[in-house]
Amino acid sequence: MNYWPLLGIAVIVIGFALRFNAVPVVVCAALASGLLAGMHWPQLLALLGKSFIASRMLLLFVLTLPAIGLLEHAGLREHAQQWMGRLRGLTFARLLIGYLLLRQLLAMLGLTGVAGAAQTVRPLLAPMGEAAAEKIHPGLSDADRDEVRAVAAATDNIGRFFGEDVFIALGAVLLIQGFYAQRGIELTPLSIALWALPTAIAAFAIQSLRVYLFQRRLARRARNGAGA
């Protein structure tokens, strides 16, 4: 048994511990494992290329990034903040709770790639959330802005994660079905999706409450800052 290829795992652990960019770390780990396994450079590069082309969703994500970058360069984030500033009745909590509901409904229909961290959170949701938070607390600090962005990203992640299990044809549901089938428990995808529905509703309620409480904390910080 050749244990040297397992050093690729050490490369990943060290790279993540040092907070390096995840993509170069994973690629370096793959190259290290392949070379230590005795693969030649042409063979290794061909394997990486084949894996990249086979991952259609990854290819779509990579093609999305330049488009988002061009939109941000053209001022998409600034326009989103200005647009949010003109919507008087749309508060921070209403914005994120509405997005959470939309994200979950789309995920329940299998449309998980319509929105996401790269497509909507960074260029649209986070800037609009910051503009809505500035209505509550005009003197937002850098730490407050980071927290607003984190809440926006968490809202997107929760909406997708707990919504996609309700769609019967998604890989996660089929994985659950296969796991129980190996242990002699036969479940249909429809029954798994129906049992996932109460969890999705609970996740929506809990995250909505967390967003509302965060808005109240921002208002409390604004009052304390005004008093000081």
Angle 76-86/56-73 helices, nearest 10 degrees? 70
| CA angle in degrees (0–180, nearest 5) for 126-27-124 | 10
- Reading the block at residue 222, the tokens are 């604004």
What are the domain boundaries of the chain? 4-54, 77-227
What is the sign, positive or negative, of the torsion defined by CA atoms of 130, 131, 137, 138? Answer: positive
pLDDT digits (tens, 9 = 90+) for 151-193: 999 999 999 999 988 887 777 777 788 888 888 888 888 888 8
pLDDT digits (tens, 9 = 90+) for 60-87: 555 566 666 666 666 666 666 676 666 7
pLDDT digits (tens, 9 = 90+) for 131-162: 888 888 888 888 999 999 999 999 999 999 99
Instruction: Quote the strand ranges of the chain, DSSP E.
Output: none
What is the sign, positive or negative, of the torsion defined by CA atoms of 80, 81, 87, 93? Answer: positive
